[in-house]
């Protein structure tokens, strides 16, 4: 369903370990939302000097107050700093729900949900949706330290299994999610992987899934300026079903992509064989896409 | 009674002076989710090129104080896809399409104008002169808009290939010593009107990585930060060429900003970077403009074009502010 722009009232602002979880009353967004979609919020007030919207994956929607939307963020700059200072009853300009949601299997399947840091947030609404379809959800969550693992408790409570990794070993296994991936996939007999993590992790997840012939749905969190598709700031190279690589926008063509369609090694560049790349010839038959 | 917002784009009448700026609204499809684009004066499309273009690598955008640095590299599907998909869609929604074109040689611009002339429903052509000139002396970073002669050449090529009844607007860069000279060259070459301003060249360095923030190193600065530059350019060109219709653009985010650029001499005003921040900005700005006009007792928006140029004594008399 088409996104809407609303003025949403802040309901709650909670500190959750290293993150802030904010709930906004936005019934029109809550009713349209499907797991994997995100919202874009204007920061800094009416006369703001910060012109880019800040995009956040939706953690959860609830039916109270007509419909609320919750998202999770860390303070990384002046924009998120301003947002963290908001209190209940402040009013935010919110656009959403944006982007394409996670596709879910038609039949019961064993699903592995991989999240790093605050990237775990959108996985819990997905897990609930998967449960409705009779799917099993296993969690594999990672972060640099224990206070940056988001939702470990919920994962343990709602998932069939939950494996936690931290770089400093302060919670769960020491290391990164990619170290544990193969073990978890084998133990859980995973049929499909959902991932929400930095590009380097998504690349590793997609590569491993390719070896096991498991489909991957990857949610990329590229920085965005508008969230609606007009600024063209969040493009990445994706191979289409016709075999042609195009620079597509993470905000409208994603943020969820099939892991085997994204050219992870070329993210941040314009591959020479991408449609319209310098030297690209329109009338020549397309070369192969072995890369 | 609401004010009459009708304005003229050369010989074409538009229902409102509020347009979308090139490159900030795609071909209207994204914004149509939030506003009725048929009520916008016209949609100036993202610059169309002959061939598809993949654009620049990311990061393409950097937020600066009240501004946005961008170097998208004109990513787009090319003229074929535009004519097949985007233009018919715009027209089907009842919107008016001002098509921005970009190329690397005068011949490319001419071919684009020919292609657009064969298509029905193009309200006007905006010639984006902010492109590197591939044949112009080989100095890198030199844009058509930097030099009156090459700007004039491109406009003449477009004027010579396009249909005579489609107005041609030349989009000027503020990054020149004498914008009036470039403006004059474009009008002499056959431009029906002028559009200003394009972005200002700028750069940002990420102090965390100690590297340029944008992959393309340089980018174009837009947003409210450059509005005073836009007002100055519109003012200067209006003073020198009072009969040439102008599209003002640069940092417009409120109804009063439209008023300011129109008082400086713009017949229409394009909203750009504000659309990143607020996808319904055009509808809001139009509403604000109506309120501002009402508050000043002005019935027709066309009456205020260039009004700031009249001597102070007349202006004061008109508003009864002189005691």
Q: In angstroms, rounded to a whole number, what is the distance separating the alpha carbons of residues A38 and A44?
A: 20
Confidence of residue B282 (pLDDT cuts 50, 70, 90): very high
Mean pLDDT within B265-284: 94
| pLDDT in the model for residue B64 | 95
**Closest by alpha carbon to B272, among B171, B191, B177, B152?**
B171
| pLDDT in the model for residue B320 | 54
Q: How far is CA A210 from CA A141, A192, A203, A259, B308, in A?
A: 20, 11, 10, 9, 66
Each residue of B108-140: pLDDT tens digit?
999 999 999 888 889 999 999 988 877 655 566
Q: In angstroms, rounded to a whole number, what is the distance separating the alpha carbons of residues A71 and A20?
A: 8
Q: In angstroms, rounded to a whole number, what is the distance separating the alpha carbons of residues B107 and B103?
A: 8
Q: Which domain holds residue B83?
A: 7-319
Chain B contact present for A225, CB below 8 A: yes
**Pick the catalytic residue: B131, B186, B233, B282?**
B131
| pLDDT in the model for residue B137 | 56
Of the partner residues B30, B54, B276, the one whose CB lies closest to the CB of residue A225: B276
Chain-chain contact of B51 with A276 (C-beta, under 8 angstroms): yes
pLDDT tens-place values along chain A, 291 residues long: 799 999 999 999 999 989 999 999 999 999 999 999 999 999 998 889 999 999 999 999 988 888 999 999 999 999 999 999 999 999 999 998 999 999 999 889 999 999 999 989 999 999 999 999 999 999 999 999 989 999 899 999 998 999 999 999 888 888 899 999 999 988 888 899 999 999 999 999 999 999 999 999 999 987 888 999 999 999 999 999 888 999 999 999 989 999 999 999 999 899 988 998 887 776 555 554 544
Superfamily of domain A4-98: Translation factors (2.40.30.10)
Fold topology of A110-219: Rossmann fold (3.40.50)
| pLDDT in the model for residue B215 | 92
Nearest residue on chain B to A273, judged by CA atoms? B54
Q: In angstroms, rounded to a whole number, what is the distance separating the alpha carbons of residues A176 and A149?
A: 12
The pTM score is: 0.90
Confidence of residue B254 (pLDDT cuts 50, 70, 90): very high
Q: Which two tokens stand for residue B5?
A: 């917002």
Q: Which residues, other chains included, contact A243 with Cβ-Cβ below 8 Å and sequence gap of 6+?
A: A286, A289
Long-range own/partner contacts, residues B304-307 (CB < 8 A, 24 or more apart): B304/B259, B304/B262, B304/B263, B305/B7, B305/B262, B305/B263, B305/B265, B305/B266, B305/B267, B306/B238, B306/B242, B306/B262, B306/B263, B306/B264, B306/B265, B307/B262, B307/B263
- Are the C-beta atoms of residues B238 and B264 closer than 8 Å to each other? yes
Q: Which residues of chain B are within 8 Å of residue A275 when distances are taken between CB atoms?
A: 52, 54
| pLDDT in the model for residue B310 | 87
ipTM: 0.88
Q: Which residues of chain A are within 8 Å of residue B60 when distances are taken between CB atoms?
A: 232-233, 235
Q: Which two tokens stand for residue A230?
A: 């007009």
Q: How many CB atoms lie within 10 A of CB A289?
A: 13
Known active-site residue B131: yes
- SS3 category, B68: strand
| pLDDT in the model for residue A283 | 54
Judge whether B182 lies within some domain. Answer: yes
| pLDDT in the model for residue A290 | 44
Q: Which residues of chain A are within 8 Å of residue B54 when distances are taken between CB atoms?
A: 246-247, 270, 274-278, 280
Judge whether B1 lies within some domain. Answer: no
Half-sphere exposure of A29 (CA within 13 A, CB side): 32
Each residue of B139-173: pLDDT tens digit?
666 888 888 999 999 999 999 998 888 999 999 99
Nearest residue on chain A to B76, judged by CA atoms? A276
Chain B contact present for A282, CB below 8 A: yes
Q: In angstroms, rounded to a whole number, what is the distance separating the alpha carbons of residues A25 and B92?
A: 35
Chain-chain contact of B276 with A270 (C-beta, under 8 angstroms): no
Where does chain A hold its CATH 3.40.50.80 domain(s)? 110-219
The CA dihedral of B66, B71, B72, B74, to the nearest 10 degrees, is 120
Percentage of chain B exceeding pLDDT 90: 76
Judge whether B83 lies within some domain. Answer: yes
Q: In angstroms, rounded to a whole number, what is the distance separating the alpha carbons of residues A180 and B58?
A: 31
Where residue B313 sits, what CATH number does that domain have? 3.20.20.70
Where does chain A hold its CATH 2.40.30.10 domain(s)? 4-98
pLDDT at B52 > cutoff 80: yes
- Are the C-beta atoms of residues B101 and B78 closer than 8 Å to each other? no
- Are the C-beta atoms of residues A185 and A178 closer than 8 Å to each other? no
Judge whether B2 lies within some domain. Answer: no
Chain-chain contact of A51 with B76 (C-beta, under 8 angstroms): no
A277 phi and psi angles, rounded to 5 deg: -70, 155
Chain-chain contact of A232 with B24 (C-beta, under 8 angstroms): no
């Amino acid at each position: 369903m088409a996104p809407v722009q609303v003025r949403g009232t802040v309901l709650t602002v909670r500190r959750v370990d290293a993150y802030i979880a904010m709930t906004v009353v936005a019934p029109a967004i809550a009713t349209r939302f499907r797991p994997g979609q995100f919202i874009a919020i204007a920061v800094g007030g009416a006369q703001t000097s910060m012109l880019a919207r800040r995009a956040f994956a939706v953690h959860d929607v609830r039916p109270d107050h007509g419909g609320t939307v919750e998202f999770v963020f860390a303070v990384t700059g002046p924009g998120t700093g301003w947002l963290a200072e908001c209190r209940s009853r402040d009013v935010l300009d919110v656009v959403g729900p944006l982007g394409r949601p996670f596709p879910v299997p038609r039949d019961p399947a064993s699903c592995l949900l991989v999240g790093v840091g605050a990237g775990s947030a959108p996985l819990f609404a997905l897990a609930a949706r998967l449960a409705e379809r009779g799917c099993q959800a296993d969690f594999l969550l990672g972060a640099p330290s224990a206070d940056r693992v988001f939702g470990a408790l919920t994962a343990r409570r709602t998932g069939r299994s939950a494996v936690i990794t931290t770089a400093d070993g302060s919670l769960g296994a020491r290391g990164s999610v990619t170290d544990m991936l193969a073990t978890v996939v084998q133990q859980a007999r995973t049929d499909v992987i959902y991932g929400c993590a930095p590009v380097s992790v998504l690349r590793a997840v997609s590569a491993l899934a390719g070896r096991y012939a498991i489909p991957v749905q990857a949610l990329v969190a590229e920085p965005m300026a508008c969230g609606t598709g007009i600024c063209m700031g969040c493009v990445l190279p994706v191979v289409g079903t016709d075999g042609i690589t195009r620079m597509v926008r993470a905000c409208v063509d994603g943020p969820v992509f099939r892991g085997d369609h994204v050219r992870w090694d070329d993210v941040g560049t314009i591959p020479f064989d991408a449609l319209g790349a310098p030297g690209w010839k329109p009338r020549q038959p397309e070369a192969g896409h072995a890369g | 009674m609401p004010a009459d917002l009708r304005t003229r784009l050369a010989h074409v009448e538009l229902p409102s002076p509020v347009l979308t700026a090139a490159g900030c609204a795609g071909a209207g499809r994204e914004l149509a989710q939030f506003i009725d684009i048929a009520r916008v004066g016209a949609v100036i499309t993202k610059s169309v090129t002959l061939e598809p273009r993949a654009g620049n690598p990311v990061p393409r955008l950097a937020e600066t104080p009240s501004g946005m640095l961008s170097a998208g590299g004109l990513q787009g599907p090319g003229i074929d896809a535009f004519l097949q998909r985007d233009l018919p869609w715009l027209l089907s929604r009842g919107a008016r399409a001002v098509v921005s074109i970009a190329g690397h040689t005068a011949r490319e611009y001419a071919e684009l104008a020919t292609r657009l002339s064969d298509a029905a429903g193009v309200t006007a052509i905006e010639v984006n002169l902010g492109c590197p000139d591939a044949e112009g002396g080989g100095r890198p970073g030199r844009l058509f808009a930097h030099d009156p002669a090459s700007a004039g050449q491109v406009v003449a090529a477009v004027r010579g290939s396009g249909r005579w009844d489609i107005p041609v607007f030349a989009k000027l860069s503020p990054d020149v010593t004498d914008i009036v000279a470039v403006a004059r060259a474009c009008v002499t070459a056959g431009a029906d009107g002028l559009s200003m301003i394009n972005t200002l060249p700028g750069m940002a360095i990420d102090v965390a990585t100690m590297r340029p923030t944008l992959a393309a190193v340089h980018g174009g600065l837009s947003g409210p930060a450059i509005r005073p530059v836009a007002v100055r350019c519109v003012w200067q060109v209006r003073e020198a060429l009072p009969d040439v219709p102008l599209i003002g653009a640069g940092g417009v985010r409120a109804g009063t900003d439209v008023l300011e650029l129109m008082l400086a001499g713009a017949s229409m005003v394009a909203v750009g970077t504000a659309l990143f921040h607020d996808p319904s900005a055009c509808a809001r700005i139009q509403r604000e403009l109506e309120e501002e006009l009402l508050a000043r007792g002005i019935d027709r928006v066309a009456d205020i074009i260039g009004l700031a140029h009249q001597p102070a004594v007349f202006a004061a008399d008109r508003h009864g502010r002189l005691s």
